[in-house]
Amino acid sequence: MEPVDPRINPIYTPAGTVPKVYGRGQPGVKELPTILTPRGYMITRWSPTDEERQRILEGEDIYVSIQNGGIVNPMFVTIGPIDWNTR
């Protein structure tokens, strides 16, 4: 999967949401484009390859790995955008 710019139709995001790219200019680190909402959500967007889409269609599960030093923050995964104004 590749990270892609998560900016979506502004109707789905609260006023004050701003874009931020993590890892910019860090050697050996892939840039991670995000949007940050005033309520503390950091939203990323990922585009599966055709092969990954086929594996999902065949029932393969999606795994999310987070390197966080032992502190796990609440998170959820969606398929497609949702209305973050209600979150």
Q: Has residue 81 been placed in a domain?
A: no
Q: In whole angstroms, give the CA distance from residue 27 to residue 29.
A: 6
Q: Has residue 41 been placed in a domain?
A: yes
> For residue 42, what pLDDT is reported?
87
* Residue 35 near residue 10 (C-beta atoms within 8 A): no
The whole domain housing 42 covers 2-71
19-56 pLDDT, tens per residue? Answer: 989 888 888 888 888 888 898 888 888 899 999 999 99
**Domains in the chain, number:** 1
Q: Has residue 60 been placed in a domain?
A: yes
Write the DSSP string, 36-64. E-TTS-EE-EEE--HHHHHHHHTT-----
Whether residue 75 has pLDDT greater than 80: no
Under the banding of pLDDT at 50, 70 and 90, the label for residue 73 is confident
> For residue 87, what pLDDT is reported?
72
